[in-house]
Structures are given as structure tokens and as C-alpha cells.
Amino acid sequence: VITKIKARQILDSRGIPTVEVDLFTNKGMFRASAPSGDPSGMYEAFELRDGDKAVYLGKSVTRAVKNINEKISEALIGMDPTLQSQIDHAMIDLDKTEKKSELGINAILAVSIAACKAGAGEKEVPLYKYIADLAGKSQLTIPTPAFTVISGGKHAGNNLAIQEIMIVPTGAIRFDEALQMGSETYYHLKAVITEKHGAHGCNVGVDGGFAPNISSIKEGLDLVKEAISRTEYTEKISIALGAAASNFCQGTKYDLDFKSPKKSGQNFKSGEEMIEMYKELCAEYPIISIEDPFDKEDWEHIKCISNLGTCQVVGDELLMSNPKRIERAIQENTCNALLLKINQIGTVTEAIEVVKQAKDANWGVVISHRSGETEDSFIADLSVGLSSGQIKAGAPCRGERLAKYNQLLRIEEDLGDAAFYAGDEWRQPLSH
Ligand code: PGA
């Protein structure tokens, strides 16, 4: 049984406070922490921050910590840690608000993950296996990673409008090979950028992608293409884009120079022009997936592009991991993949449910990190347990990103011959 729950404030990878929790059972102590990102809107769960500008610029989370140490502890102590759904629903009931704003998503999620780890500990099975059991899955798949190699948008200080360019080792046979491809390409890219932009072009963005001072997507893609051509794996690495287009949508237009104060307003594109641009990019580069190609409320243009060609169209801000938004997108055929950010939905139980919802619609599923990460590697186990087929956890560089990729290496080793790397079946891995 759960004997004690103790939370504290720690800092995430951006140096911003977040919540960590130690959950104790008769089997020992299980630790988890909540990731955090740029809040993207009214449909996602609510991150509780203290708001006192004199302390951590208003970002401290002592109220969320107190909620765990008092209200949540009181509700959960004595419960069996293997009853994940009951534990999560006990917190949801205690909170009573739609967006979990009373206790805070940062409080609820950290406890939900810690309970999941404790449940695995109780059953003495690996975490990924335990998650698969919770989700009723018998097959396990190691996801194909999308490594961020160039950062832009709100994640970097350059003039690139879109948030990231990623490389996807779809042609690898195993995950360890995929990670090697990612790392080698990253370092070839570093050399390419140094040659073209000087060493300062290799400064990195919030999740480890290089942030050279480029202003067009094509410039970034050319750098990546050149880096891939210097590897041994030219045919085995594809490209994915994370546009995060809500950041540069103004009214009905998209401002691709939004970060360049001098030029802003001169490179506006209409929705139709954006579709043309994406079509051209997909024809010229091996792009297999685009995330949030349009504003989160621009359902019509996203729908048009989802019906073009074979490129996957992923909803991040469009969906906010919210079951109602996902249902609407399924009904209207708006996109064809879910980006799951667990802190937008809030509990392990609800994360399992929305992944099922997306998979039942034959969508792709990407389990995603946040810009503010911790050393917690839970999403690696989650992606294997749910056979998502895809994971996005930043560059193959920086500790909080590698925590996830390195955990996937361990899982692959642990599974031995039973390990199945999604590879080129990333969209619908075998075990769906
Ligand atoms: P966010 O972005 O955490 O800043 O929302 C993470 C991502 O989409 O890579």
C-alpha cells in the first residue's frame, strides 16, 4: 500500500520550478516529476503556479507541492498502488474542476506517474511492461525517435519561424542504431553549420537543436540534407517538421518573418500559400511528418493538407491532448496523428485513454516531451508500453533529453530478442 507521499519543488531544464514527488510503499520509494511547456491554450490542463512575482518571477510551485503533501496524500495513503485508475480518479474527484486547476496538473501528474512506477514495483515487472498491462496490450514496440536538430520558433533566438526540424531514423534496424544515426548526423550538422555560419551558429535552442541564424525553412532543410549526405545512412534518415504555426499566425495570415523585427509583415502567407509551401518542401526533401502546420483554430487548412500525399499531419496545439478536440478532429478528418503531452491531459489513465482513441482511428501517435523537462524518463516507458510507434524528446544531446533516449536503450537491452523497433512502421507499428 501507499504509505507516504512527499513532494518538493525542483527546477526543470529551463531553470523554472516544477514539482517532484517521492511516493513510498512497502516496496520502497518511487520518484516522479512533472514536465512543463509553454501553455498553449484554454483546452489544456492547468499548471498551478504561485504567481508571486518576487519569487522565481511568479513561477514557484509551492501551492502545488502543498496540495500533494496535504490533500492528495490524505486521499491516497492506504491505497493499493496497482489500482492506477482508482488513484487517478481519486485525484480527479478531489480536484473537481475540468482543467484540474484546483490541485494543479503539476501536482496530479507527478503523483500519477509516481503511482504508476510504484504499481510496477509492486508487481515486480519493468515499468514499460506494467504500462502495457494497464493498457491491455500484449505486444511492445520501441518507438522510432524524431530528434530535433535545428531549433526555431519560440524555442530559439534565431529568425526561423518554425519550431523545429527533426531527423527520423526510419531505416534503422534497432533503436541503438537509430540513436547512433541521430548522434552522428547531429555532429555532421554541427560541422556543416560551423562551415557556413561560424561556431556561434552551433548555439542551441531549448531542447538541444542547433539555432543558426537562418530565416527560412529551406535554409534549415539544406543544412540538414547536407549533414545527412555526410553520413553512411543517406537513405535511412527521413525528416520531420514541427511548425507550431500558431506562433506566427496573425489573423488569417502567417508571418514567416515574425521574429525578425525589421522584416516582420513582409513575408505574410495565406493559408493556401502555406499549403503550396509545404507541398513544395515535401517534394524537395524527405519530409514524412509535419506537426501543427497551421494555427490551432485553422481547422480547414490543416484538413486540406492532411488529405494531400502521404505525409503525416500531427496535431499538437490543435488537439492539446484533449479528448474532445481529438474526437472532433477524427470526425472531421482534420489531421492523422496525435502528439501526446502527458501534462496537457494530466494522468496516466487519461493518457492511455487518448492514445487508444487515436489508435482506434488509425492515427499515428507521437509521445512527446515538453520544453521544460526533468531527468524523469517516464515517457520512454510510456511510449514502449503503449506501442506508440513514435517518440519526440529533443536533440540526441543534453541530459534531460538523453534521459529518455538512454532509457529506450536499456529497454531494448532488457527485451533482448523480443525487442521490436518500429523503424519504418513508425506510423502503425505491428502491435497496434
Ligand atoms: P513545448 O514544446 O513544451 O514548448 O510546448 C515541446 C515540443 O512540442 O517539442
pLDDT tens digit sequence for 218-276: 999 999 999 999 999 999 999 999 999 999 999 999 999 998 877 766 789 999 999 99
Asked if 347 and 34 touch (Cβ cutoff 8 Å), the reply is no
Strands (DSSP E) contained in 180-295 are 238-242, 249-250, 253-255, 268-270, 287-291
Annotated binding-site residues read 155, 164, 291, 316, 368-371, 392
Strands 28-33, 144-151: pairing is unpaired
CA distances from 77 to 5, 23, 63 (A): 8, 10, 20
With a 6 Å cutoff on the Cβ, whether 37 touches ligand 1 is: yes
Residue 308: per-residue pLDDT: 76
Q: Whose CA is nearest to atom 7 of ligand 1?
A: 370
Checking phi first, is residue 364 left (phi over 0); if not, alpha (psi -120 to 50) or beta? Answer: beta
pTM: 0.97
Q: Is the CB of 49 under 6 A from ligand 1?
A: no
Which of 394, 332, 328, 340 is closest to 365 using CA atoms? 340
Q: Which residues pair with 164 in a beta bridge?
A: 151, 242
- The x, y and z cell numbers of residue 40, run together, are 498553449
CA of 154 to the centre of ligand 1 (A): 9
Complete DSSP assignment for 242-257? E--GGGGEETTEEETT
Task: Give this complex's ipTM.
Answer: 0.98
- Cβ of 14 closer than 6 Å to ligand 1, yes or no, is no
- Per-residue pLDDT, 38: 80
* Residue 368 CB less than 6 A away from ligand 1: yes
Active site residue 424: no
Atom 8 of ligand 1, residue of closest alpha carbon = 370
How many Cα atoms sit within 13 Å of 235 on the Cβ side?
0
Q: What is the structure's pLDDT at 75?
A: 98
Task: Determine the pLDDT at residue 93.
Answer: 97
DSSP code of 143?
P
Q: Which of 143, 160, 157, 3 is nearest to 73 (CA)?
A: 3
Q: Which residue has the cell 532488457?
A: 414
Residues of the chain under the 50 pLDDT cut: 431-432
What single-letter amino acid sits at 164? E
Name which of 268, 274, 305, 303 is nearest 289 in CA terms.
Answer: 305
| Residue tagged 490543435 (cell numbers) | 318
5-41 pLDDT, tens per residue?
Answer: 999 999 999 999 999 999 999 999 999 999 999 876 6
What distance in Å separates the CA atoms of residue 132 and residue 385, rounded to the nearest whole number? 4
- Cβ–ligand 1 contact at 151 (below 6 Å): no
Cell of 230: 555526410
Q: Tell me if residue 341 is catalytic.
A: yes
**Residues forming the annotated binding site for Mg(2+)?**
291, 316
